[in-house]
Structure 1
């Protein structure tokens, strides 16, 4: 090769490398901005008591309490479960993005929430005779276990201190779940908080992280019993008008956790036979018409959860599976629409919770 040709090749390679480096820097900058946006949303609401909606059994006037009196740690973000996963969002950012501009503010916020007195108050509410064992089951309980999972995976002094404080409440929640699972004779297939497929996924991830073999076996057996023989899921009937979880996609994301790739590929063929093998579009994104309507705003969350669940499904298949292109295309399309909704102006009916869904997706929590 002549020297001139070699120089041209080197210049071309240098230009391509420079463009790739610039693109990488831009992508990193974009993600930094996104993560900061998500942090802002959680910081804005974790200690914002009102507006609020509570699920609280009262047997007399003496039981009337404010949200903060009922839930001294998790009274913000409109409801208990959103407060819990808002706190998870903040721990996730501390764990994965220690250079975030809100790092010190997040530490301060979590120190305010995670005190022995506050968690004792939370535990007292769970132990209250009229609370029962169904409080925030399964959705809120699953998110709490996601919170403690994150703290276990983050090797820091703060994480260890906060986890120690949260442990008594974790023990109570695990006991409630363990007592409930043997009694559950049917799956709950809706697209909102009561859905068992999504919650089981978070619970199973927790059991693996803490090496709780008994809970892992209990969950795995229940999952196989309730979902293992399902086929031809009616995806064409989705979504319902206020879903934030897809019954079919969530179940498919759950099952990859309890099967090897070969088993899962066969099961998925029977369960969702309509997934294309040619990379074509097959799943339409949802649109929210009125973001001030808390129920209608759920559809913004559906786009986000579908995206991370589709990524989970793809991870459960062999990389050469012919369905990969269509699955990843749908995941990308839903991610764009979902993240755009969080970045742009939100009503509090969405902003109090969508940051957590966006963080779960952007950081690939379900896979990593």
Structure 2
């Protein structure tokens, strides 16, 4: 399964329709007093759309990625115009000031942090000022990750926004060419908390999860361990006990329910993780297993990326992650 121009246009049109749509909106906002009561567009002049801050951030990642991949499309021109209006110095200064509030220590931790770094990583691939203007905010969250991992004794091993491994996977890719200290911090922490894990028998999926706890951890460890060590570790985690052979796409009963619609994202994020890990495995039968499982999950979810706002405001990002990962 590849990303076609038709699919890219569908994703881009959906994201263009929501990154600047303020309502409905779900705020992650701690108020210290009456002065902090404000609408989303004032609190977050760049990322006030897409139902919530983090979805707006990765909606923008989707748009910039599609602009780069399909630069001659009508959508690319619309993306460029909106990005120039959005990523201004003044607007991003407000975003940074909000993130620096003492009351914002836990704001969007860690999911939104990881996506902001990933957005900056993509913005740097464009011949515009967007990356330079986003960099202070990215550097703020990079330091926040270091501070967080210094006190995070145990991983948050759930399939929702609080999942530690997923955010660290995004952050680590950003840091590889920008922040060797963050790479070392992530690798040391991940090795400590995940390297001795084996024989996974978790009860997946939870009813509102959009990430697989175990595959999110495995995707992070693919980057932390050598190829040989990863293949051995992954076999002991989910291959030897048959867990992966039994894995089936999640069934989504109500796509208009925001929490239940998370399961569509689970199918897409599983597909992304499985596709990304394929090259790290040595045995053809293991690669075939992962490839078949990834394709089944993609086939189950791709038709439903657009169509209802509760999924449409975020699912394209996860579909794009999976489609861009070449098996």
Q: Does 1:339 find its partner at 2:320? A: no
Of structures 1 and 2, the larger Rg is shown by: 1
Measured on the aligned residues, the alpha-carbon RMSD in Å equals: 1.9
Q: Does 1:306 find its partner at 2:270? A: yes
Instruction: Give the whole-Å Cα distance in 2 for the aligned partners of 1:59 and 1:94.
Output: 39
Deviations 1:174-219 (A, max 9, x none): 1211111111100000000000111111111111132x21111111
C-alpha contact (below 8 Å) 1:275/1:326 kept by paired residues: no
Instruction: Give the whole-Å Cα distance in 2 for the aligned partners of 1:141 and 1:174.
Output: 8
1:128 to 96, 101, 106: 101
Deviations 1:51-98 (A, max 9, x none): 000011113222211001111100000000000000100111112221
2:56 to 83, 94, 103: 83
Query: How many Å apart are 1:38 and its aligned residue?
Result: 0.6
Deviations 1:219-270 (A, max 9, x none): 10001011110011124x1000001000011111111111122111110121
Kindly report structure 1 stretches of 4+ aligned residues shifted beyond 3 Å. 273-277
Q: Does 1:193 find its partner at 2:161? A: yes
**Distance change >3 Å, CA 91–CA 275, structure 1 → 2:** farther
- The residue number in structure 2 matching 1:4 is none
Instruction: Give the whole-Å Cα distance in 1 for the aligned partners of 2:81 and 2:174.
Output: 26
Instruction: Give the whole-Å Cα distance in 1 for the aligned partners of 2:241 and 2:112.
Output: 31
How many residue pairs align between the two structures? Answer: 327
1:352 to 305, 309, 313: 313
1:119 to 69, 87, 92: 92
C-alpha contact (below 8 Å) 1:36/1:102 kept by paired residues: yes
The correspondence of residues 9-24 of structure 1 with structure 2, limited to 5 A, is none
- The residue number in structure 1 matching 2:232 is 266
Instruction: Give the whole-Å Cα distance in 2 for the aligned partners of 1:241 and 1:202.
Output: 24
The answer to which of 92-101 and 214-223 deviates more is: 92-101
- The residue number in structure 1 matching 2:211 is 245
Instruction: Give the whole-Å Cα distance in 2 for the aligned partners of 1:305 and 1:358.
Output: 8
**1:45 is paired with a residue of what secondary structure?**
coil
Structure 2: unaligned runs, 5 residues or longer: none
C-alpha contact (below 8 Å) 2:268/2:297 kept by paired residues: yes
C-alpha contact (below 8 Å) 1:282/1:326 kept by paired residues: no
Instruction: Give the whole-Å Cα distance in 1 for the aligned partners of 2:78 and 2:117.
Output: 23
Query: How many Å apart are 1:275 and its aligned residue?
Result: 6.6
TM-score, structure 2 normalization? 0.95
Q: Does 1:180 find its partner at 2:152? A: no
Structure 1: unaligned runs, 5 residues or longer: 1-26
